[in-house]
Structure formats: C-alpha cells, structure tokens
Amino acid sequence: MKKKSLNVKKKSLKSVTHFLKNKHIYSVYKIFERNLVKNEKYIVAVSGGPDSLALSFFAKCYSELNNTKFYYYLVDHKLRKESKEEANKTLSLLKKIGIKCKVLTWKGKKPKSNIQSIARLNRYSLLINKCKKKKSNSILLGHQKNDLNENFLIRMMRGSGLKGLVSMDIFSNNKNINFIRPLLEVEKKKLENISLMVFSDYVTDPSNKNENFKRIRVRNLISSLEKEGLDKDKIYLTIQNLKSANNALDFYSEKNIRENTFFNKKKNVTLNKQFFEQPYEIVIRSITKLIKKVGKNYYPPRGKSIKNIIVELKSTNNSKKATLGGCVFEKVSKTVIISKEKHNFLNKG
C-alpha cells in the first residue's frame, strides 16, 4: 500500500513538470524561479486569463520541485453576469494540474465609474486579508511586459514624474505585503502559448475589448503603432534606463536622510540646513520618504503639494507651522522639525 502511494505521488509530479522539457517553457520558468524564495508561503492571484494561468502553472511546478507552499485565490467581482461561469471554468482548468483554487467574492455596492481602479483596490484588499490569515507576506501577480509598457504610457499621459513612470516593478510593498510580478519581463504572447499548451484553453475577459477603459485604448494604440514600426522592446529598454536613473535618485535621497536628519525618541525628525542644499529632486524625494515614514501613510501627497511646502519652508525664518500628509512641519532657526499630526476629536453631546 505504501509503495503504491509513492508511485501515485511520482506520477503526479511528472504530470505537472513534464512541460518543462519544452525549452521555451523552461526558459520562462527560470525567469519565474529566480524571483522567488524557497520555503516561503505565497498567495497566487488568479483571474483565468493566460497570464494568471501561466503564473499558476509555474507556481505548481515550483511547489513540486521545492519546499514552498502556494495558496491560489480567484476574486469574483460580480461586475458581469458571466463572472461566476468564468470562475468555474478557471477552477476546472486549474484542477487539470492538481491546483485547488478558492473563489473570493467582492461584496458591496458596485461602482459606475472608475471601475477598473476600484475593482483592483478591492481585489488587493481581499488578497491581503488572505495573506494575514495564511501568515504569508507575499502575493504573486501575473503582470507581464505588455502591462509594463501600457502602464508606462498611461502614466506619461497623466504627466507623471520619473518615479511614477517606472512605478510597476517586479517587487513592490504595501502594508508590509510584498507584491511580486515574476513574469514582468515576459511577452504576453509567450504566456498565451504556454497556457494553451498546458491547459488547452483560458478565459477571455470581454472587457479587454471595451474602449471605455483607458488601458484598452492605450493597448489598441500600441498595436496600431506597431504596424507603423514601433518596437515594443525599445519602450521596455527606455523603462529600464529610467529605472536606473530612478534608483540613483533613491540612493542619494536615502543618503541625504541618513546624513542630514535626526530622529528623536518621540519619532519626530529634525532636518538640518544641509538637507535643503541638495539638488532639488533629491530634496523632494527625501521629503516624500519622510512624510511616508512619519505620517505612516503608504501613498504620499501629490508632488505639487510637496514642492509648495518646500518653497514655504525656504522662504520663512520664523517658527510658522504647516501641515501635509498627516505631518506637521515647523521651521525653527535653520532647522525644520517634522512630527506626526495629532487629530483632536471633540465629543458632541
């Protein structure tokens, strides 16, 4: 009986990983593999599209080859009547390779505008809650190179600064949860082919053809520009070059904070005169980082607001106070003190 059980396990292992014998699939798996850490627990965000199915397949292979635990979750937003049917189809596809996926339902009032953005925030909220319950710190997302290029152009159209233009990265962190995009370097077409080879099918979201969404219009624009000779690899190369510049600015802003600030026991921070003598972009980044740290907010204020308070701090010599991002700024002589803003709640009776 024991011997038979071992044979079943061996057969199951072969049924999942034998696709890795294909050199094209194996090359993508190696990209996936290098972005993960053994012995950790991961939440896998599943949607049913080719990107997330390929992500799930690679996670399953990794779990068989390493001592790593994965939990698979699909969020049903209930925004379309077909969503339940699509969720069931996804569960059936994943079951083919031995993956048990659970469906999380977004409950509550559904938005009539800004739908994709609100749905994304609710999806992440549900997944973060599962991270806490499973004592995991990491969520795997199926974003790929096409998503990266689209995000870059959308941010450029909004007039984003350097940090915003390169905001989508393989690793990011929110509320102490790591968001990992291990397939960000891979073309969507490759993932479509892999999903078809492994699952023979995938779910097609009709909203991907709805031009009411800006992302879809940008996606179609890129396709049109490709016909005119646009090289998507050049967009990707531009993003990588900008990331390098962004990393350099981050390095020097951290250096500025390290050398020209002082944190006291009350967790207030004092900025000396040399803090504001650095290049302007370094000062902006340094202030932004400090606001997030002292104010304990994940999202910092808009760049324009930060620039305005820097001008105000430089122009006054007295102890005038200003507030921004949950922080109080007070100029004392040649130094600036940043403290967490205290909110007073008055009882009404």
Q: Which tokens hold the place of 319?
A: 């102890």
Regarding whether 166 and 29 lie in a shared domain, the answer is yes
Spatial CB neighbours of 305, under 8 Å, sequence gap ≥ 6: 324, 325
Regarding whether 280 and 185 lie in a shared domain, the answer is no
Q: Which tokens hold the place of 248?
A: 């350099």
Regarding whether 186 and 293 lie in a shared domain, the answer is no
- pLDDT for 14 equals 53
Confirm whether 322 is domain-assigned.
yes
Cα separations in angstroms, 167 against 150, 224, 329: 12, 25, 27
Cα separations in angstroms, 99 against 59, 73, 141, 199: 10, 11, 17, 12
Whole-angstrom distance between the N-terminal and C-terminal Cα of the chain? 74
- Chain position carrying tokens 């044979």: 7
CATH label of the domain that carries residue 67: 3.40.50.620
What CA–CA distance (Å, rounded) separates 33 from 292? 32
- pLDDT for 11 equals 40
CATH label of the domain that carries residue 316: 3.30.465
Confirm whether 176 is domain-assigned.
yes
Confirm whether 169 is domain-assigned.
yes
3-state SS, residue 88: helix
Q: How many separate domains does the chain show?
A: 2
Q: What are phi and psi of 331, to 5 degrees?
A: -90, 120
- pLDDT for 114 equals 80
Regarding whether 79 and 158 lie in a shared domain, the answer is yes
**Per-residue tens of pLDDT for the chain, all 349 residues:** 444 444 444 444 456 899 999 999 999 999 999 999 888 999 999 999 999 999 999 999 999 999 899 999 999 988 888 999 999 999 999 999 999 999 999 887 877 788 888 888 899 999 999 999 999 999 999 999 999 999 999 999 988 889 889 989 999 988 789 999 999 999 999 999 999 999 999 998 887 788 888 889 999 998 888 888 888 888 999 999 999 999 999 999 999 999 999 998 777 999 999 999 999 999 999 999 999 889 887 677 887 888 888 888 877 666 678 899 899 999 888 899 999 988 654 444 4
- pLDDT for 347 equals 45
Regarding whether 300 and 207 lie in a shared domain, the answer is no
Q: Which tokens hold the place of 216?
A: 């879809």
- pLDDT for 317 equals 67
Confirm whether 242 is domain-assigned.
no
CA 94 to centroid of chain Cα atoms: 24
Cα separations in angstroms, 79 against 45, 111, 119, 130: 18, 9, 9, 21
- pLDDT for 86 equals 94
3-state SS, residue 331: strand
Cα separations in angstroms, 110 against 119, 124, 336: 9, 16, 45
Each as own residue / partner, the long-range contacts of residues 22-28 (CB below 8 Å, 24 or more positions apart, any chain) are 22/197, 24/190, 24/193, 24/194, 25/194, 25/197, 28/54, 28/58, 28/183, 28/186, 28/190, 28/191, 28/194
Containing domain of residue 324, as a range? Answer: 258-340
Q: What is the pTM of this model?
A: 0.82
Regarding whether 283 and 160 lie in a shared domain, the answer is no
Spatial CB neighbours of 343, under 8 Å, sequence gap ≥ 6: none
Regarding whether 111 and 70 lie in a shared domain, the answer is yes
Regarding whether 158 and 77 lie in a shared domain, the answer is yes
